[in-house]
Amino acid sequence: MKVLVVGGGGREHALVWKIAKSPLVKEVFAAPGNAGIMEFAQTFPVAAEDVPGQVALAKKLRADLIVVGPEAPLCDGLVDALTEAGLRAFGPNAAAARIEGDKSFARDLCRRHRIPGPGFRSFDDVHQALAWLEQRGDLPVVVKASGLAAGKGVTVARSQKEAAAAVRECLERSRFGAAGTRVVLEDCLEGPEVSMIALTDGRTIVPLETARDHKPVFDDDEGPNTGGMGAVSPAPRLAQRLTGQIEREILLPTVHAMNHESRPFRGFLYAGVMLTQQGPKVLEFNARLGDPETQPLMMRLKSDIVPLLLATVDGELERCEAPEWDPRPAVCVMATSEGYPGSYPKGLEIRGLGGIERDDDLQVFHSGTARRGDQLITAGGRVLAVSALGNDLHAARARAYGALEKIEFRGRHYRTDIGAR
């Protein structure tokens, strides 16, 4: 069969790598892809957000399966449009993807269905939001743009001044455009964070292995949040009983809640969960796989992913065998451009990849790379990541960092403590 993967980041590179291994697959395509994806798939310069362009491409290629990676096209109805065109598309439709695209909706959903989360209030009026903040007094407070803001719409405010400034950025200065016309003000949850992702067809859920993301840009969780500077799977020191509790108290009730509200969810349902003293609570939902969590997860997934994706689209997940996982841990470390998550240069030459031996235990997944003639160049804030398996975390880290140190570009930055604690 022919598979088209929509997107061009590290998550899509890892997906393409895994899908290309399937004996069911003859050809893999990606749009827009990146320089790393080109090694496994023919790429096409169609933006992930270009819904009519992606539908036209999928039809032209006669793709048997289209896998939509990023959140924006899911929220914009790409799966709806592909399905209407008679194509087999993996991912939630727009109504279901609202769980990520509208944080105010997701919080209300949790409240309606008693899914544990932080206390919160949503506002679209700046004066009401500021008055509530002043009256609340309690700090820190989390200020979130309700819509999609590419990971930049969240501020953990430690003072009233910071909270008020974040609210004004959204509601007055329109920093996030339409995504910031509503803000959600939440209690700040404390504890270790875990990413729990499940495949679901709306009836059956198949939880994947756990992962832990590292969002702040600098070591020891200092500095502003990024899309993710690295990830580890399984999430270290996470007791089995807690993963069971997260499945029972968060993932399953969410799938039921979405059915109850006539928004059946089919795809990867991602719960960012904080393990608080009062039990696991939802930090956020995503309607897709995490990036970079996908990279270590794909390294550990031993089963063919394609039958699982097809069964999800067809509502037949119940018939699939549980996926098999490599018990060894995987570590993924991201190399980023100087200045990220603020502004950063692009077009810098990347050297050293040829000196890295890649195999099933070590891969380099590209996030923001491109080709300029024979050169590999930077093309994004997150540039590429090394993912490695090892007999223990120490060995996986040593292998990932050993390879990453061979890759060079001007201003290259990475955290040195991914998986260290």
Footprint of ligand GLY (CB under 6 A): 213, 228, 286, 290-291, 293
CB of 135 vs ligand GLY, minimal distance in Å: 32
CA distance 250 to 235: 17
Nearer to ligand GLY among residue 169 and residue 293 (C-beta):
293
Residue whose token pair is 């590999």:
376
Helix, strand, or coil here: 223? strand
| Both tokens assigned to 82 | 């592909």
CB of 47 vs ligand GLY, minimal distance in Å: 19
C-beta of residue 78 within 8 angstroms of C-beta of residue 72: no
C-beta of residue 285 within 8 angstroms of C-beta of residue 99: yes
Nearer to ligand GLY among residue 64 and residue 291 (C-beta):
291
CA distance 94 to 138: 36
Nearer to ligand GLY among residue 87 and residue 146 (C-beta):
146
CB of 293 vs ligand GLY, minimal distance in Å: 6
Nearer to ligand GLY among residue 232 and residue 388 (C-beta):
232
Nearer to ligand GLY among residue 382 and residue 412 (C-beta):
382
- Burial per residue of 221-259, b for 16 or more beta-carbon CB atoms within 10 angstroms, e otherwise: eeeebbbbbbbbbbbeebeeebbebbbebbbbbbbebbe
User: Measuring CA to CA, which residue among 91, 79, 4 is closest to residue 40?
Assistant: 4
CA distance 253 to 280: 14
Distance of alpha carbon 415 from the chain centroid: 19
Nearer to ligand GLY among residue 69 and residue 118 (C-beta):
69
Nearer to ligand GLY among residue 202 and residue 228 (C-beta):
228
CA distance 240 to 237: 9
Give the strand pairing for 212-213 and 183-187. Answer: unpaired
CB of 199 vs ligand GLY, minimal distance in Å: 16
Alpha-carbon distances of 360 from 263, 276, 357, rounded to whole Å: 38, 36, 10
CB of 177 vs ligand GLY, minimal distance in Å: 19
CB of 158 vs ligand GLY, minimal distance in Å: 22
Phi, psi values for residue 212, rounded to 5°: -125, 130
Phi, psi values for residue 397, rounded to 5°: -65, -45
C-beta of residue 196 within 8 angstroms of C-beta of residue 273: yes
Nearer to ligand GLY among residue 329 and residue 377 (C-beta):
329
Helix, strand, coil % over all residues of the chain, rounded to 5: 35, 30, 40
User: Measuring CA to CA, which residue among 319, 199, 209, 196 is closest to residue 265?
Assistant: 199
CB of 11 vs ligand GLY, minimal distance in Å: 7
CB of 270 vs ligand GLY, minimal distance in Å: 7
CB of 297 vs ligand GLY, minimal distance in Å: 11
Nearer to ligand GLY among residue 72 and residue 311 (C-beta):
72
CB of 290 vs ligand GLY, minimal distance in Å: 4
Nearer to ligand GLY among residue 186 and residue 213 (C-beta):
213
CA distance 3 to 84: 18
